[in-house]
Amino acid sequence: MIYAIASGKGGTGKTTVTASLAALWDRPVMAVDLDVEEPNLHLFLHPELTGEEPALMEVPEVDTTRCTLCGQCAAFCQFKALSVMGKKLLIFPEMCHGCGGCLLLCPEKALSPGGRELGQIVSGSFRTDHLSSGRPEDAPFLMGRLRVGEAMSPPLMRQVKARLPESGATDILIDSPPGVSCPAVNAVMDADVIVLVTEPTPFGLHDFRLAVEAFRPLGKPLGAVINRADINRRAGISDTGVQDFCRAEGIPVWAEIPFNRAVAEAYSRGEVVARAVPELRAVILALMAHMQGAAAASKPEEADHA
């Protein structure tokens, strides 16, 4: 089963929750950081990183001895990555989306596939508290890291996701990019269950609504985690907007994480907060049970084999 942990906005605690789930998960698990523009799950799970490979995207290269400057490739490319200027065919690799259409189209076979580095795919393993054996064990870890200056993250994310079946893990936890743009949708679209982490503030509610609107049409089980759930009550503010929205929309709240200074301190030290703060451990274990229950309810045959 694939579980995507997502959020409408950054800074809600999505990675904190993912790291805690990964550390406590009670089945063979793989942790994957698909927030390729800013991966940081490794800062909490401290995996031993054993592999790093470049992720390449096919972009055209031109053989100028064959090119007749007919311009058909430039007319075809929707992304304006090719242009005939005077006596030269210019290629703008950063604008190419790697569709390969121009290579097929060129009547002179003047274009051939070259490679543009999107970033790196980094692999390793991290220590979990207990898998099915009840003893600490190593579990696979994978992350994509976008090259600085590279604008397109979905092609790199697709290459990371292509590795998931190799893991052999029963369950996969994906730390998704924040927001609701292409990378976020790309991260959650193959998941069996989506967890949306939010916070009870006006910004949190606004972006949580957007995330629900964006992800709900995918038709997957979806539950909420409200981080710092009690900050309004502590501040003497009467604002239950996130909880009211969940109730009205029929979105189950699978966990409410209270504000706790110890959580912030553990986070700042790069620790898994569910290990460092005992009260949080129970909250994360209950969240795990909700996630597994939702997955089992939606795909009972697969759950039987888990």
Interface contacts to ligand SF4, rule CB under 6 A: 59-60, 62, 67-73, 76-77, 79, 81-82, 84, 89, 96-102, 106, 108, 110-111
Closest CB to ligand SF4 among 11 and 113?
Answer: 113
Bridge-based pairing state of the strands 137-146 and 29-33: parallel
Six token digits for residue 131 = 């898998």
Number of residues written out for the chain: 306
| Residue 2, beta-bridge partner list | 172
Nearer to ligand SF4, 73 or 257 (CB): 73
Q: How far apart are CB 116 and ligand SF4 at their closest, in Å?
A: 10
Q: How many CB atoms lie within 10 A of CB 303?
A: 15
Beta-carbon count within 10 A of 80 CB? 10
What six digits make up the tokens of 240?
């239950």
Pick between residue 49 and residue 103 the one whose CB is nearest to ligand SF4. 103
Nearer to ligand SF4 by C-beta: 81 or 226? 81
By C-beta, is 77 or 272 nearer to ligand SF4? Answer: 77
Helix (H) or strand (E) holding 188: helix 182-188
Q: Is 74 helix (H, G, I), strand (E, B) or coil?
A: helix
Site of tokens 């003047």 = 110
Integer Cα distance of 46 and 61 in angstroms: 40
Q: Which helix (H) or strand (E) holds 225?
A: strand 222-227
Based on CB atoms, which residue is closest to ligand SF4, 4 or 62?
62
Beta strands across the sheet bearing 253-257: 48-62, 111-128, 137-146, 29-33, 171-175, 2-6, 193-198, 222-227, 253-257
Q: In angstroms, what CA-CA distances link 178 with 9, 91, 210, 215?
A: 5, 32, 11, 12
**Closest approach of Cβ 112 to ligand SF4, in Å?**
10
Place of tokens 């259409």: 101
If the CB atoms of residues 70 and 285 are measured against ligand SF4, the closer one turns out to be 70
Main-chain dihedrals φ then ψ at residue 189, nearest 5 degrees: -65, -25
| In the complex, minimum distance from the CB of residue 88 to ligand SF4, in angstroms, rounded to a whole number | 10
Q: Token pair for residue 150?
A: 């590279």
Nearer to ligand SF4 by Cβ, of 59 and 143: the residue is: 59
